[in-house]
């Protein structure tokens, strides 16, 4: 054994009753009670004791019970000196009991001290205590030497087996506690991830809806400042109202998506481009049901790309292309370009950043930038 093994206490889980089945506890206490009762009865029945001797025996039993309980407590707290002191008290009581004629209880007490020391103390302290206790037992025992040797060896092995059993139980208890903690952490992580996903969905819906409304309301404000006619201004206000309705519908759709009730992506894209002038959608490849996160990424990126096209290149033709591949789905949103709109400078510029973060969270990618004619956004998501 290593030096650490000699000086190491059994774990607190091993020394406590944690993890011990209730039936096993009941059986152990019943066995102890029956053995103690039989021992006391046989001792007082076979001993010629006067009243003071009987009283001393009763007092000794009570002191032993209190000392044994205190020893259990001190070893549970890993307090070495008090534990050794209590064992010394029990050994002394056994010696006094032997001198007063309580031979059998003294033998049992010596054996119990040896087993308890090996089971509950560091081995460096347990072996000397066990040697003293078993030496006293061997000196008083009247059996032949071979029987005495076999008994002492059996007691040492029994104490060590109890120690190993307690350590195994303590290890199992610690592993169970660690597993519970890991499950709790996993549940908290899953809840946090779900809250993050919900927050991202709500943010994307509101950002798209409010940004589209801002485009039309800002245009209406500019028209008012320039003294445009009432019909033109009203057209912008009505368009903003339509965007508000679309935002409400998208919010409901996002809630349905969070519940797993989503329409096919191609149907969503068709409805999306139907509300945008000069936009069209093309779907190629073998259509398949996409995972919820991938489906939501395609939807949100398409919405954001169309909003940016309205804002930065009003009136441009927009072509939305969805390609189903074997291992990934690709969304390509391309506009034909044109003069920048009056609202091209509005917005915080977080749209592309949010789309790219969404793609990277799924192990995909997002590329956005100008091409030969206008601007193109390309999303690739593994499926």
In order along its 383 residues, the chain shows pLDDT tens digits of 555 778 888 888 888 877 667 776 677 778 767 766 766 665 566 555 566 666 777 787 788 888 888 998 999 889 999 999 999 999 998 888 888 777 878 888 888 889 889 988 898 899 999 999 888 888 888 777 888 888 889 888 988 888 888 888 888 888 888 888 888 888 788 777 767 766 666 666 666 677 777 877 888 888 888 888 888 888 888 878 877 776 776 676 666 656 655 678 888 888 888 877 778 899 998 888 888 778 888 888 888 888 788 777 777 889 999 999 888 999 999 988 766 654 444 444 446 777 788 788 888 999 988 887 788 999 999 98
- Residue 55 inside a domain? The answer is yes
Phi then psi for 89, rounded to 5 degrees?
-65, -45
Long-range contacts of the stretch 197-204 (C-beta < 8 A, 24+) = 197/258, 197/293, 198/258, 200/358, 201/254, 201/257, 201/258, 201/296, 201/300, 202/251, 202/254, 203/354, 204/254, 204/300, 204/303, 204/304, 204/354, 204/358
Q: Which two tokens stand for residue 290?
A: 């996409």
Evaluate whether residue 241 is within a structural domain.
no
Q: Which domain holds residue 12?
A: 3-142
Integer CA distances (angstroms), 197 to 203, 307, 364, 373, in order: 10, 22, 17, 35
Q: Of the residues 88, 118, 142, which one is the last residue of a structural domain?
A: 142
Residue 87 near residue 136 (C-beta atoms within 8 A): no
Residue that finishes a domain, picked among 115, 142, 169: 142
Token pair for residue 169?
Answer: 């139980």
The domain total for the chain is 2
Q: How far apart are CA 177 and CA 27, in angstroms?
A: 26
Asked whether residue 159 is assigned to any structural domain, the reply reads no
Answer whether residue 25 is part of any domain.
Answer: yes
- Domain end residue (candidates: 88, 112, 142): 142
Closest to 172 measured CA to CA, from 28, 18, 24, 8? 18
Within its chain, how far is the Cα of 176 from the centroid? 12
Within a domain: residue 217?
A: no
Q: Which among 8, 39, 276, 314 is positioned nearest to 167, based on CA atoms? A: 8
Burial of 146 (C-beta count, 10 Å sphere; 0-12/13-18/19+): exposed
Alpha helices in the chain (DSSP H): 3-7, 12-15, 22-46, 51-76, 80-99, 103-120, 123-140, 145-225, 230-258, 265-274, 292-312, 351-361
Q: How far is CA 226 from the centre of its chain?
A: 61
CATH number of residue 341's parent domain: 3.30.565.10
Domain-embedded: residue 63: yes
49 lies in some domain = yes
At 48 the pLDDT is 58
Identify whether 286 is part of a domain. yes
């Amino acid at each position: 054994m290593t030096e650490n093994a000699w000086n190491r206490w059994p774990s607190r889980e091993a020394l406590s009753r944690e993890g011990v089945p209730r039936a096993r506890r009941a059986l152990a206490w019943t066995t102890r009670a029956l053995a103690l009762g039989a021992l006391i009865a046989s001792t007082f029945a076979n001993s010629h004791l006067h009243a003071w001797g009987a009283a001393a025996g009763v007092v000794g039993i009570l002191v032993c019970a209190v000392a044994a309980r205190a020893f259990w407590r001190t070893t549970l707290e890993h307090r070495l000196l008090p534990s050794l002191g209590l064992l010394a008290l029990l050994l002394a009581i056994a010696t006094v009991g032997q001198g007063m004629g309580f031979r059998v209880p003294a033998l049992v007490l010596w054996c119990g001290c040896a087993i308890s020391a090996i089971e509950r103390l560091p081995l460096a302290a347990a072996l000397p205590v066990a040697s003293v206790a078993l030496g006293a037992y061997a000196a008083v025992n009247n059996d032949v030497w071979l029987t005495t040797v076999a008994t002492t060896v059996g007691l040492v092995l029994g104490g060590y087996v109890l120690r190993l059993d307690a350590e195994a139980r303590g290890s199992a208890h610690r592993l169970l506690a660690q597993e519970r903690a890991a499950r709790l952490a996993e549940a908290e992580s899953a809840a946090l991830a779900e809250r993050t996903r919900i927050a991202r969905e709500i943010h994307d819906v509101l950002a798209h809806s409010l940004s589209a409304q801002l485009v039309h309301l800002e245009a209406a404000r500019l028209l008012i400042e320039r003294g445009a006619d009432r019909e033109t201004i009203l057209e912008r206000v009505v368009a903003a109202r339509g965007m508000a309705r679309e935002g409400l519908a998208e919010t409901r759709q996002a809630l349905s998506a969070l519940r797993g009730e989503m329409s096919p992506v191609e149907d969503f894209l068709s409805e999306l481009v139907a509300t945008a002038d000069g936009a069209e959608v093309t779907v190629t490849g073998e259509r398949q049901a996409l995972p919820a996160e991938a489906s939501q990424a395609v939807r949100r990126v398409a919405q954001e790309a169309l909003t940016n096209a309205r804002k930065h290149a009003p009136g441009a033709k927009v072509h939305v292309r969805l390609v189903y591949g074997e291992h990934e789905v690709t969304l390509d949103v391309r506009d034909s370009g044109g003069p920048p709109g009056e609202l091209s400078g509005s917005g915080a510029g977080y749209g592309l950043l949010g789309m790219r973060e969404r793609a990277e969270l799924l192990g995909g990618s997002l590329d956005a930038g100008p091409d030969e004619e206008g601007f193109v956004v390309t999303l690739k998501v593994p499926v």
